[in-house]
Structure 1
Amino acid sequence: MGLCHPLPVFISFLSKTFLFPGTMNLSDKPKTMIPKGVATFLPEETLCRRKIEHDLLSVFERWHYQELTPPIFEYLDVFSLGVGEEILDNAYKFVDRATGRIMVLRPDVTPQIARIASTLLADEPRPLRLCYSANVFRHQEEHAGREREVFQIGGELIGPSDAKADAEMISLTIEMLQSLGLKNFRITLGQMAFTQGILSRFKTDPALFKKVLSCVAKKEASQLETLLRQKALDDTSRREVLSLLDLFGGEEVLARAAVLTDDSVCRSAIEGLQSVYGILKAAGYQEYLLIDLGEVRGFDYYTGTIFEIFSEGVGIELGGGGRYDHLLEKFGTASPSTGFALYIERIQAALAWVSAQSKVTSRK
């Protein structure tokens, strides 16, 4: 496939797309302008991306995952069954001229896989191991510095509900990043059923719940304390909620969480995460793992173990995933499922950082 030179590739991508969007004279070259948040990839850049795609899909193949290609747009009323309000709000929509129905450029691939598994592959034996390479489209504010067209490579494991399946997703992720030459990355593990259990006492007050969720996500202790006083919680409940801000670290966090609450759902969730951690530890992956039980990304979507991937030199996650046991039933066929996706541009950024650090080290 040829060698990939990520540093000049990604610097070129950044400069054309995010860093210097205003340097082009609109009156001089209006035909060359493209919307912010998307990019044109020239031959060298495309070669690099194809190399990454090839390496990642090769790992999927070794794990016996089958690649499929979902459509780039779908009917909104069908697609909306599998996504939350926030994703739909940021989706690009248009009217189908043939039917008058509203269509949507896919903002997420997992709901598409869920629909396919629940309908076209409903009679196929489980487990189903499926993978994809696809772009998704989401509106982002210009100042956010995020892409509007995101290239993903991901996988879904449909059928199993045990810790081995969750561990398989994370093991796959680690093997993929290692195959690209990345070493200094970390994966934060969370347990959404545990977090949901701790925060369930706020569900009766949607406005307050939204504020509490935001505080937990941003680790804003003082603001969270203020909100808890509004709810007039007892000392035990207050301690449990505030603990979400501190349940971050190594394996010892799991032991602390196990005795935090008497709630049976929360305790069962921690036992499940301990099993996942144990499998990964036995496989020699402990050095990559951190625990973050205050992670609330996808609060109404995920149902169990969740994870995000971070790497040195990149200030945003390289990808993530988790268990979503209730998604497929929305399309007609219930089945426990888990999956993840990696973002190609961000992986390129991580590889660029590694390349730059290597050059600095070689000069010393």
Structure 2
Amino acid sequence: MKIPPDLLPEGFRDRLPPQAEVAARVSRAMIDVLTSYGYARVAPAIAEFESALAERSGGAARNQHLRFTDPVSGHTLALRGDITVQVGRIATTRMQESPRPLRLCYHGQVLRLKAKQLRPERELTQLGAELIGNDSVAAACEIVGVAIDALEAAGVKDITIDFTLPDLVERLAEKALPLAPDKIDAVRSELDMKDAGGLSVLGADAYLPLLAATGPFDAAVEKLRAIDAGGALASRIQALESIAATVAGRANVTLDPTERHGFEYQSWFGFTIFAKGYSAALGRGGTYYINRADGPSEAATGFSLYPDPLIDLAEESNVQRLFLPLGTDAATSAKLRSEGWVTVAALDDNDNAAVLGCTHIWANGQAVIV
């Protein structure tokens, strides 16, 4: 069966005018915010050796990457499904001698082997910033603030930041609420699924109150404080309160300390970003460690945003397109463009301003509304 010439694989799409222009405008507004905070832009390769990419992805299964055989090297390559791990590779290899903390940002396309329920696309735009060499409270405050600024620059309003503590169970299991080492993963999983019955079956009833420590930040953190037997979480709670204070009045803050989905490789702090009008999360971030082949792991803090929903719902910019009749001289055309006009030059007498989507026409030395 012959594939129709305009048919794309499932999960892929073209962006046509004016949506492609909107995509560029939204992405540029966000990138400009990141660079204004001192984050230098990098552009990692779209494909890497599959074995190295999987290793840096935390041992991701091979079937999570779109793979192919490289006819040049004979090795299996994989198309990237996440740019964050590539930034980590760059930071710990080619930029390993650069002063820390190292601030890097990125923007590009990633490919997913399978689409998610809330996002049927398999080709996604990923944009983000990584602060490498520091995972302190100050670093987390900066990263959360930069993420909010980037979204606001793209026109996003009514932002909600949902905090989590990825290492919560491990920290409590050490002393405050002891657990056998072989039960930690199971308890963490049941908490993530909010399964009270599963916790009881595991003999982890002491962890049940954690399920109620969710919701608006102020109320949820007080419930978490009440659970904090022996002060095991005192420093974590203080850190969360410090981060929340920096975004007060700019974003709604909620807390779900047992959330693990998407935070499997984060260390002490994680956050997810939502906004009114968008069904899926717009991004997530937090603290983590970058594995190095030649030395100890390096602490880092960062976030990734997925702006495609913003692009789909963004309003088209009111571009003024000026039609230049046949014979308009180059100097006049250049001057008009320098003044901010988008010019569309006639190539023959049959070209028509209205048909070509122009809002104005150059006539008698001035721009006239079509």
Please give the alpha-carbon distance, in whole angstroms, between the structure 1 residues aligned to 2:100 and 2:88.
Answer: 13
Q: 1:344 aligns with which of 304, 307, 310?
A: 307
Q: 1:249 aligns with which of 202, 216, 227?
A: 216
2:54 aligned with 1:96? no
Aligned to 2:147: 173
* Structure having the larger proportion of residues in strand: 2
Which runs of structure 2 are paired with 1:1-80 in the superposition (5 Å)? Answer: 30-80=4-54
Which is worse superposed, 133-142 or 109-118?
133-142
- Aligned 8 A contact 1:36 1:142 in 2: no
2:227 aligned with 1:260? yes
Secondary structure of 1:150 counterpart: strand
- Aligned 8 A contact 1:194 1:270 in 2: no
Aligned to 1:228: 199
Q: 1:168 to 1:55 in 2, by over 3 A?
A: same
**Number of paired residues?**
311
Q: 1:334 aligns with which of 275, 294, 297?
A: 297
RMSD: 2.6
- Aligned 8 A contact 1:190 1:294 in 2: yes
2:277 aligned with 1:313? yes
Secondary structure of 1:58 counterpart: helix
TM-superposed deviation, 1:332: 4.3
Please give the alpha-carbon distance, in whole angstroms, between the structure 2 residues aligned to 1:202 and 1:149.
Answer: 42
TM-score scaled by structure 1?
A: 0.77
Q: 1:108 to 1:202 in 2, by over 3 A?
A: farther
- Aligned 8 A contact 1:156 1:340 in 2: yes
TM-score scaled by structure 2?
A: 0.76
TM-superposed deviation, 1:328: 3.7
**Largest Rg, 1 or 2:** 2
Which is worse superposed, 239-248 or 176-185?
239-248
- Percent identical among aligned pairs is 25
Please give the alpha-carbon distance, in whole angstroms, between the structure 1 residues aligned to 2:267 and 2:117.
Answer: 32
Aligned to 1:134: 108
Aligned to 1:280: 247
TM-superposed deviation, 1:67: 0.4
Larger RCO, structure (CA 8 Å, separation 6 or more): 1
Please give the alpha-carbon distance, in whole angstroms, between the structure 2 residues aligned to 1:309 and 1:34.
Answer: 31
Secondary structure of 1:175 counterpart: helix
* Structure having the larger proportion of residues in helix: 1
Structure 1, gaps ≥5 residues long = 1-25, 353-364
Which is worse superposed, 160-169 or 47-56?
160-169
Which is worse superposed, 250-259 or 165-174?
250-259
